[in-house]
Amino acid sequence: MTTNNIIIKNAHTNNLKNVDVELPKHSIVVFTGVSGSGKSSLLFDTIYTEAQRQLIETFSSFARARLPKLSRPDVDEIKHLSTPIVIDQKKMGNNLRSTVGTATELATYIRLLYSRIGQPMLHLPSLAFSFNHPEGMCPHCQGLGKEVKIDINLFLDKEKSLREGALLHPNYKQNSYLLKELLKYGIFDNDKPLKDWSEEELHKLLYSEPIDLDKSKTGLSYNRYHEGIITKLERGIIEKAIDEKGQDEQQARDKFFTYRVCEHCHGSRINERARSVKIGEKSIDQIFNMELSDVWEFFKQMESRVEDEKVRQMAVPILRKINYTLSQLVNIGVGYLSLNRPVSTLSGGESQRVKMARQLDCDLTDLIYVLDEPSIGLHPRDNERLIDLMIGLRDRGNSVFVVEHDPDIILSAEWAVDMGPKAGSKGGLYLASRGHRHRPAADRTNIPREYCIIHRHLQSSSTFLCPS
């Protein structure tokens, strides 16, 4: 028995029917079958879940308590697993401060380059060019690039009192915790319609700086302070910078908040000092707003043009790191993105390709990369780039396991596992597993006869045979 194969015995997760299969490691393995045939149950719910569970068990009790608790999948035995990394189409987060630049670490290296060789030489640390750090962010928009304001006319019903529901934001709806707390403060007339309030009273309610409250007068069991409601809501969006997806939050943002480009930084997110430093007549905010393909071209030319030996020693290692990452992103088909693009706005396919390109910079080996239909949303002409990227992951000593329907991706694999024959209760059977261990993954001109896949998506006659 070789440790170069993953051995699965009697997998019966979901609709799997006592599946026994042996999979080669350090290869590209594709899982095929109709939707609902059991391929995801085998790869994701069995192999990946068990590998992840065993990995978590090696952590300290402190770490395990803060990680998801995974149950052992329905399988009798799995041998020779490695550390798994899933590269799926889930979004990379919903934080507005997380961008393509920060997610790929390109922002880190570009900031470092500007701090080392940018002109004029201000001897600034690299964080002075970051919109996520007080040293570099625009002080007016806190690094968001846009100002957030509440439309006061939509926020208040001045015909009503506080007790009657004058505050229209869902956080202060009738019987809400925040409204009940506000009514206990004792610093406002809770029963007077807001139309009868003075400007000072309205300002105190909406915009005041924090005011300490005496718990003996508020009826609260703890010390509290009052801060202007609008001031607090606007600051909350800036500080959290979360693209809220909850229905109430999203509706409130759409209804009450307005967004406009920051008039101080003009959307660049960074302060004037950081914008004044340039490389090749371009400031860092200009670089971050360019398409990745253009950024790559810019830095490739710079690497060849650096003549000063002292500057070259500082710049070239950083430039090579930047250019390598940019080349992977461009080659995988996302060269049209910008470094400033928030990851929350990426499609599932874009997120997956960015994750994949990022992994090529990982120095760990003997990993299992699990990919979920990476060809979705990809132009057919980019399939070759995707295949090359998978080969790159494999050539680093890793296993690449892929759920896929695309014929080009299937034929590029060294091993194929077909599940079925149909979906649901009529699926879950291990039908075929064929491959040629030594065949180059990209070689489709000489496919051995034994590499045969039973695959209904490819040919309705149910058997897709390789060339004679």
Using alpha carbons, select from 84, 80, 85 the residue that is nearest to residue 25: 80
Give yes or no for a contact between 314 and 116, defined as CB atoms under 8 angstroms apart: yes
CATH 1.10.8.280, the chain: domain bounds? 148-261
Asked if the peptide bond before residue 120 counts as cis, ω within 30 degrees of 0, the response is: yes
CA distances from 217 to 11, 163, 201, 222, 258 (A): 65, 19, 19, 11, 37
Cβ of 191: how many Cβ atoms within 10 Å?
10
Distance of CA 356 to the CA centre of its chain: 11
**Encoding tokens for residue 328?**
């992977």
- Architecture label for domain 5-90+349-435: 3-Layer(aba) Sandwich (3.40)
**Encoding tokens for residue 379?**
């132009």
Which long-range CB contacts under 8 A does 268-273 form with residues at least 24 apart?
A: 268/138, 268/145, 269/131, 269/137, 269/138, 269/141, 269/143, 269/144, 269/145, 269/340, 270/129, 270/130, 270/131, 270/136, 270/137, 270/138, 270/143, 271/136, 271/137, 271/138, 271/139, 273/122, 273/124, 273/128
Give yes or no for a contact between 346 and 74, defined as CB atoms under 8 angstroms apart: no
pLDDT < 50 regions, the chain: 244, 436-468
30: left (phi over 0), alpha (psi -120 to 50) or beta: beta
* E strands, 46-108, in order: 75-79, 84-87
Rounded CA separation 124/423 (Å): 60
Burial level of 380, CB count in 10 A (0-12/13-18/19+)?
Answer: exposed
Looking at residue 385, its pLDDT comes to: 82
Looking at residue 223, its pLDDT comes to: 59
Cβ of 392: how many Cβ atoms within 10 Å?
17
With the C-alpha atoms ordered 306, 308, 309, 310, is the resulting torsion angle positive or negative?
Answer: negative
Looking at residue 54, its pLDDT comes to: 94
Angle of helix 309-331 versus helix 348-359 axis, rounded to 10 = 140
Looking at residue 437, its pLDDT comes to: 43
Looking at residue 463, its pLDDT comes to: 36
Domain 148-261 falls under CATH 1.10.3720.10: no
101: left (phi over 0), alpha (psi -120 to 50) or beta: alpha
Q: Give 225's contacts (C-beta < 8 A, 6+ positions apart).
A: 210, 211, 212, 213
Output phi, psi for 427, to 5 deg.
-115, -155
CATH 3.40.50.300, the chain: domain bounds? 5-90+349-435
Looking at residue 219, its pLDDT comes to: 60
Angle of helix 348-359 versus helix 383-395 axis, rounded to 10 = 40
Looking at residue 248, its pLDDT comes to: 62
Looking at residue 425, what DSSP letter applies?
G
Rounded CA separation 222/244 (Å): 30
Rounded CA separation 332/335 (Å): 8
